[in-house]
């Protein structure tokens, strides 16, 4: 009777709904990763600033996002901020905002780490040959830092993809939630449904995350020399 379990996946519009859920997961994750990366690079550059105030503010921003769980952030923004500002934001929009800000905080730390790990003589040599501030970063520091930050950045990206499953708490229907709906609907009649549904979800997450690791390997190899 094992066949019965897998049939759950092909009933009605089940597969289509799982696919829609997957698009939601992937959409939120990738938009946030892109926004987060850009903001994060800015954050990283700021973190290397000499100004104590700038350092303090950036540090505070990072710690605030690191210490407060993402679930709490989702609640604060979805229920708290929208209510306080008297605006309506869809759950999807809130998810992108929260994940982007979180990505920016963590990415900022990765960029900072990469920049600070570069030997001091790189900066000094760059200055010695008369490069401007932007030139120094554009031709000397960033190309080297990007290679060093790549593993951390990819790790953060896959973590963001997986953390998106928290968005169900603010009413967004992602791939995991669709899976749970299917399992709950059929669990009484088809107890093995969970195996098949979670099995498929595993494969779907793999399809999203594996290209990221592949990409990072490729880039690392490309920048080897």
Residue ranges in contact with another protein by CB under 8 A: 11-14, 16-17, 42-43, 45-46, 49, 51, 53-54, 57-58, 61, 75, 78-86, 88, 132-134, 168-171, 173, 177, 180-181, 183-185, 187-189, 191, 194
Q: Is 171 left (phi over 0), alpha (psi -120 to 50) or beta?
A: left
Closest CA to 42 of 102, 115, 108: 108
State CA 117 to chain mean position distance. Answer: 24
Q: Is 132 exposed, middle or buried (0-12, 13-18, 19+ CB in 10 A)?
A: exposed
Residue (31 or 71) nearer to another protein, CB: 71
CB 148 to another protein: min, Å: 21
Tokens coding 19: 């696919």
Q: Is 1 exposed, middle or buried (0-12, 13-18, 19+ CB in 10 A)?
A: exposed
Tokens coding 212: 């990221």
CB 33 to another protein: min, Å: 19
CB 210 to another protein: min, Å: 26
Residue (6 or 219) nearer to another protein, CB: 6
Residue 160 · residue 31 · CB < 8 Å: no
Residue (82 or 213) nearer to another protein, CB: 82
| Three-class SS state of 1 | coil
Residue (81 or 209) nearer to another protein, CB: 81
CB 90 to another protein: min, Å: 10
Number of H helices, E strands in the chain: 11, 0
Residue (112 or 177) nearer to another protein, CB: 177
CB 119 to another protein: min, Å: 21
Residue (28 or 154) nearer to another protein, CB: 28
Closest CA to 185 of 21, 2, 11, 22: 11
CB 163 to another protein: min, Å: 14
Backbone angles phi, psi at 161, to 5 degrees: -55, -45
């Amino acid at each position: 009777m094992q066949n019965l379990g897998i049939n759950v996946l092909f009933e009605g519009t089940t597969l289509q709904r799982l696919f829609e859920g997957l698009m939601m997961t992937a959409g939120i994750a990738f938009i946030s990763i892109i926004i987060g990366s850009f903001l994060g690079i800015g954050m990283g550059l700021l973190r290397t600033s000499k100004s104590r105030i700038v350092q303090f503010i950036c540090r505070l921003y990072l710690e605030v996002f690191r210490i407060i769980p993402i679930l709490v952030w989702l609640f604060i923004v979805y229920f708290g901020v929208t209510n306080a500002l008297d605006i309506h934001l869809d759950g999807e929009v809130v998810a992108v905002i929260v994940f982007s800000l979180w990505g920016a905080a963590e990415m900022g730390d990765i960029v900072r780490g990469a920049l600070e790990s570069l030997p001091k003589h790189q900066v000094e040599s760059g200055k010695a040959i008369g490069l401007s501030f932007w030139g120094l970063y554009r031709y000397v520091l960033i190309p080297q830092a990007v290679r060093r930050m790549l593993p951390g950045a990819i790790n953060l990206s896959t973590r963001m993809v997986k953390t998106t499953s928290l968005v169900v708490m603010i009413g967004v229907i992602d791939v995991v939630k669709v899976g749970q709906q299917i399992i709950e609907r059929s669990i009484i009649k088809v107890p093995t449904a969970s195996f098949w549904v979670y099995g498929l979800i595993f494969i779907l997450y793999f399809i999203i995350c594996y290209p990221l690791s592949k990409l990072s390997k490729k880039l690392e190899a490309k920048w080897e020399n």
